[in-house]
Chains A and B, each alone.
Chain A
Amino acid sequence: MKQIASFIVNGKAYELAIEPHMLLVEVLRDELGLTGTKHSCGIGHCGACTVLIDGTPTLSCLTPALTAKGKNVTTIEGLAEGTTLHPIQKAFIDFGAIQCGYCTPGMILSAKAQLDKNPNPTREQVKQALSGNLCRCTGYVKIVDAVLAAAETIKKGGK
């Protein structure tokens, strides 16, 4: 039975009719057309489905959509301001931290949550924060470089 529920996604309010067994990843992708959040492993190991719920990295493929109602959901589409990229997005591009791009949304959101919580992370802390996001293309090296560079940019007040 479909229920009407209120969602706040990337700062915008939505009233959606969804069934209880729909996952947050399904609602984001299929109902709202926000396909940046990905299906990959389905069992919580790879982090490709990561979104932020009230700023906290959460696996949308293991989250029934109704449990997210009324909470602030941030997807990768919510990071840039218009065409102005978030410093983490810029750094990923500039440092070559993106190859196939499929793990990138989840990776950037996990990084963002880390920098929001701790603007001055060590290399090891960045790695710990990203330890739930798997990448098969990059070997992770430039991803860590990019996050640390973004941290510097943000500290200097850059955008």
Chain B
Amino acid sequence: MSRLLKPFEYLEPETVEEAVQLLSKYGDKAKVLAGGTDLLISMKKRKISPQYVVYIKSIPELDYIQYSQEAGLKIGALATHSTIADSPIIKDKFELLATACGKVGTPQVRNMGTIGGNICEGGPSQDTIPSLLVLEAKLKLISLHSERIVPIDEFFIAPFKTALQEAELLTEIQIPTPAPRSAGCYKWFTKTVRVDETLVGVAVLMSLDSTDGICSDLKIGLCSVAPTPFRARRAEEVLRGKKVDNTLIEQAAQVAAEEAKPRSRADYRRRMTKVLVTEAVNETWRKIR
């Protein structure tokens, strides 16, 4: 661990095409630099020492937030956590994502860090992921010769290992407009102090039928309780298509806790998964009713 970086060559593409060309040329010798809040720490800890650092924040067309009812939400990969947390449209229509982005790190880290960087870090505790999972986000990945859309729940393979291929750049996050009569929230406990790594993170997106309180859809996203963030699908099934009541909520929360596979503080994490899922579903339900 050092407080300084080791030498590297600095490249500053001005377009996406230039960027992927460079990534293709240098392969695993290159790393993408956006906000730097993850990359630089890894470099300081000497976990990685890239020969080439490709700084992409100068690419103007990657920092945007666009919304329309039909097309849904499109966020450029370079949008920072601060921008997303403060975005009126996201606070209004995708509140849980604004909450999640507002929890990441510290104010300074949120100013610097990007949603794209957060996703590509691929760690088990990234706060933004549970919300993106329940919102069923899709990721646009561009390489020299291809462009593909990957659903977010296929993106995380193992801790810090994602489906991002070499020389591929994440450029956009696409989120469909939720069904009418939907609401969501993001709830968490930190490990120790208020500003801290997440111990258990729970995102919920629920839709109610226009008729009597039947849950037409429920999605539960969890982070920090398994090798990668994931959807608690068995727990979702407990409530999907059923009339919502406290017993079912508790049952779903219990199942979610069982789906969790925490490595450390396992018992406590499972218990808190149940507590938070209960709380999150309850809060969401109250919002829609």
| A42 B10 Cβ-Cβ under 8 A | no
Q: Which residues of A are found within 8 Å of B180, using beta-carbon distances?
A: none
Q: Indicate whether A105 reaches chain B with its CB closer than 8 angstroms.
A: no
A62-B36 CB under 8 A given contacts A19-B7, A26-B4: yes
| A57 B108 Cβ-Cβ under 8 A | yes
Q: Indicate whether B9 reaches chain A with its CB closer than 8 angstroms.
A: yes
Q: Indicate whether A129 reaches chain B with its CB closer than 8 angstroms.
A: yes
Q: Which residues of B are found within 8 Å of A66, using beta-carbon distances?
A: 10, 12, 55
| B112 A110 Cβ-Cβ under 8 A | no
How far, in Å, is A123 (CB) from chain B's closest CB? 15
Q: Indicate whether A155 reaches chain B with its CB closer than 8 angstroms.
A: no
Q: Which residues of B are found within 8 Å of A19, using beta-carbon distances?
A: 7
| B8 A132 Cβ-Cβ under 8 A | no
Q: Which of B4, B10, B57, B194 contacts A131 (CB 8 A)?
A: B194
Q: Indicate whether A76 reaches chain B with its CB closer than 8 angstroms.
A: no
Q: Which of B3, B40, B57 contacts A39 (CB 8 A)?
A: B3
How far, in Å, is B118 (CB) from chain A's closest CB? 14
Q: How many interface residues does chain A have, given as a range?
A: 20 to 34
- Which residue in chain B gives the minimum CB-CB distance to A114? B107
- Which residue in chain B gives the minimum CB-CB distance to A26? B4
- Which residue in chain B gives the minimum CB-CB distance to A42? B3
Compute how far the CA of A62 lies from the CA of B12 in the bound complex, rounded to whole angstroms: 17
Instruction: Tell me the B residues contacting A by CB distance below 8 Å.
Output: 1-10, 12, 33, 36-37, 40-41, 44, 53, 55, 57, 82, 105-109, 111-112, 194-195
Instruction: Tell me the A residues contacting B by CB distance below 8 Å.
Output: 1, 3, 19-23, 26, 39, 42-45, 47, 50, 56-59, 61-64, 66-67, 110, 128-129, 131-132
Could you show 24 A-B contacts with beta carbons less than 8 Å apart? A20-B53, A21-B4, A21-B6, A39-B3, A43-B44, A44-B105, A44-B108, A56-B82, A57-B111, A58-B111, A59-B37, A61-B3, A62-B37, A63-B36, A63-B40, A64-B5, A64-B33, A64-B53, A67-B36, A67-B55, A110-B107, A128-B107, A132-B106, A132-B108
